[in-house]
Structure 1
């Protein structure tokens, strides 16, 4: 076998492979013998079909399959062993391949066009500083968060007059076209705006006459208000009366020990000052995760912006057209090409960092990441329960080995672990500057990204 790489430029090359009988014949002969032992042909006992007949029937297809398999492995091995920065897939010269005479040729020559990325290196000491934002929760954010928590842990109260956000309980009676009656509740927030004025300000014992479909034009809301099935609610129309028996509303939870215990756990804090301090810490922690994500994006952008890499643009655009089989026009490829090249360059950079730092990902790391995903998805905290851990392990392994998606679960998890390790390493090599920032300023930064 003869393999030669001919570089036309920094980004374009051709890989030429020449095969002689010594390269493929031993494996082809072995497979022909296997066929001869297994093939069943009328007039011959199993395993006694003449070799010449087996050759005539199956020789060409076995030869083609074997050479194709050999070529695929040879190209992949050559690229890996020579650490070529190949982008896209090697494109075979189909004209020369179609001209092969499989019946008479014994030597075969194949050619592949390769798209290459130009040579580059990563020197962390030459890269600019990246900001790491420390989000500070001010009084306004703490006040807003506490108000939201008070609403979430609201108390129920009884009102004297109907308000827009109340729920009113009473007896509903049909006074035209039927005899429907029911004890029910009207959530005022589900009532049409133009009908609310008939109820707001009314008191217990008051009777309101109204048109049901005008108050609840949505059939789902009408079903909820009347207590019947949705399909039955469509037939409930016309004038009704509603006698108000009770009025309830949500009131924000009071800032007391009961509220503190509900939000943070029993005894976590003892007064409002401690509660506010704890809420501020939680806000900072929650935004800390978002800050880490922004830092990751900033590192990736900085690496792309400061690592000059040339790509074979014409080759890649043609390759994208071919692999997408007419799904995109050349104009659409041009529109999306910039984003595509950024992702290509970023992956090349990450691979270079991993190679220099000897970063690898093994199966146990992928499995551990999947176990953690299962714990988070199903709300399992860290546990010493052996049976629970066995269940988590089984779910994780089944997810990774799911044959229905052709190994995509394993591949996507592997890539996520790989990316995490590369970015984690980059953080230790780069210079980062801590910068305090308010929540609003941070939100603006995220929106601009």
Structure 2
């Protein structure tokens, strides 16, 4: 095989590989010898079929396999011989017009990782802001928990439903007088005022009593998730089974015991612990932001454009999803488009910091153990249906890029913890509000939308070498199609979600921290 470099510009490399016809034929001969003992043909004893007949029968397949193997080996050898560190999967193409029996010309294009001088981990200075849990926060958490455990009791048959009540109905939906698929149900509980059903449905149930029959007139939203019903006028014939009034939850020992606890003291202690975890998370976010800002200020180097583009695409995809929740999505999109360059700068920052943290980790022996990796794979597999989990686990074990994507967040956290240990840290007590304000103050100024819509979930940036799981695997996660009942006939996330029955809580849930849009920075 002959190799020549055709491009060496910045982080871009390109090579021309020539695989000779003689090399390919030799590989085919090897495969013919391997295959011969297994070939049966009338008139020949097993294993005695002449090589030329085997070539005639399987020549095209053997030639293709030999060529593919030669290309793989050629690419691997070129990468190794030139000590290349590919940033993303190399692009490999064969010249058009290749004919069997002739030399094959291959083009190899890739971007390489930049050479980064091993960063010094000495001299880092960080301030750690910590906040104590206030009694008021625990009181508010108890109140939220009690409100979330709403229950209902049957009202008198003469009682007329009002907002906040729950109505149990049988229903049948029709479009142009014809019932539609999935539009029928029985004994469905509808909480009036929850906004979980299509517009107008709940409003028209105000004033109904037990055993009432009524026809509701509604219009499906233009963005409804069933194409045949988008924007269509419909009617729902309903029969009221009963009307239920909300019961008042008394926050006392009995309430705590209904959650599986011993009493209010244990409930308050549990909630306090959850709030402490939340505050610790905010403290870590504040420290990590300070650490990354120091690293970003001290290091500047070119990053592979393909990695920036991949990171930018993830940011943009998240922003596109969040547009659905905007009151005026068109205006939000214009604002987003106006700030596109700033979002690309954020992508550059993320990639640069990801490479930097990776270099620090490698230089200092930070690693994710096999046991930890197995745990990550098992956790990720739980997102799939039971019948697809084994297939997913095999895929991750066979695809280095998929494994790298899973490993990246944990690896980054380990490197960050390593740097925390090396830094000179000073502590300062603050209030929750001051802690949150400190995090917000460290945001990248502009873009405006970044403060408002930056994808908070991406705070732990994925390692640059990682790629998303191929689309064919995403299919395994697809949820089964839902029936079109008023319960599922809710707006898309842009508006209000369909009601979901709440399971009896065993443990109280803590209040979630407000998403920090500063995460766009990294």
Structure 1 length-normalised TM: 0.58
- In structure 2, stretches of 5+ residues that fail to align are 168-199, 217-235, 314-336, 441-515
SS at match of 1:69: helix
- Quick check: 1:113 aligned with 2:109? yes
Q: Count residues in correspondence.
A: 361
How far residue 426 of structure 1 moved from its aligned partner, in angstroms, is 3.4
SS at match of 1:351: helix
Q: What is residue 218 of structure 1 aligned with on the other side?
A: 202
Q: What is residue 15 of structure 2 aligned with on the other side?
A: 15
Report Cα offsets for 1:171-222 as digits up to 9, x if no partner.
Answer: 32xxxxxxxxxxx785652389xxxxxxxxxxxxxxxxxxxxxxx9638956
- Quick check: 1:365 aligned with 2:372? yes
Q: What is residue 441 of structure 1 aligned with on the other side?
A: 434
- Quick check: 1:169 aligned with 2:155? yes
SS at match of 2:15: strand
Residues 35-434 of structure 1: matches in 2 within 5 Å? 35-39=35-39, 47-56=47-56, 58-59=58-59, 61-76=61-76, 78-79=78-79, 84-92=84-92, 94=94, 97-98=95-96, 100-105=98-103, 110-125=106-121, 129-138=125-134, 140-149=136-145, 169-172=155-158, 186=161, 189-190=164-165, 218=202, 221=205, 226=210, 234=237, 250=248, 252-253=250-251, 265-266=261-262, 269=265, 282-293=274-285, 295-296=287-288, 299-300=291-292, 302-313=294-305, 337-369=344-376, 398=390, 401=393, 412-434=405-427
Native 8 Å contact 1:10 1:117 kept in 2? no
How far residue 417 of structure 1 moved from its aligned partner, in angstroms, is 3.6
RMSD in angstroms over aligned alpha carbons? 5.4
Higher helix share: 1
Native 8 Å contact 2:397 2:403 kept in 1? no
Q: What is residue 183 of structure 2 aligned with on the other side?
A: none
Report Cα offsets for 1:414-435 as digits up to 9, x if no partner.
Answer: 3444333333333333444434
Report Cα offsets for 1:337-364 as digits up to 9, x if no partner.
Answer: 5455444434433432332123343432
Structure 2 length-normalised TM: 0.51
Q: Counterparts of 2:77 and 2:420 in 1: how far apart (Å)? A: 32
Q: Counterparts of 1:432 and 1:85 in 2: how far apart (Å)? A: 35
Q: Counterparts of 2:389 and 2:246 in 1: how far apart (Å)? A: 51
Q: Counterparts of 2:282 and 2:47 in 1: how far apart (Å)? A: 68
Native 8 Å contact 1:127 1:306 kept in 2? no
Report Cα offsets for 1:390-430 as digits up to 9, x if no partner.
Answer: xxxx9998486366998798665434443333333333334
How far residue 82 of structure 1 moved from its aligned partner, in angstroms, is 5.9
Native 8 Å contact 1:168 1:188 kept in 2? no
Q: Counterparts of 2:308 and 2:212 in 1: how far apart (Å)? A: 62
How far residue 115 of structure 1 moved from its aligned partner, in angstroms, is 1.7
Q: Counterparts of 2:79 and 2:102 in 1: how far apart (Å)? A: 31
Query: Residues 222 and 299 (structure 1 numbering): CA distance in 2 closer, same or farther, change over 3 Å?
Result: same
How far residue 443 of structure 1 moved from its aligned partner, in angstroms, is 3.9
- Quick check: 1:30 aligned with 2:5? no
Query: Residues 293 and 263 (structure 1 numbering): CA distance in 2 closer, same or farther, change over 3 Å?
Result: farther
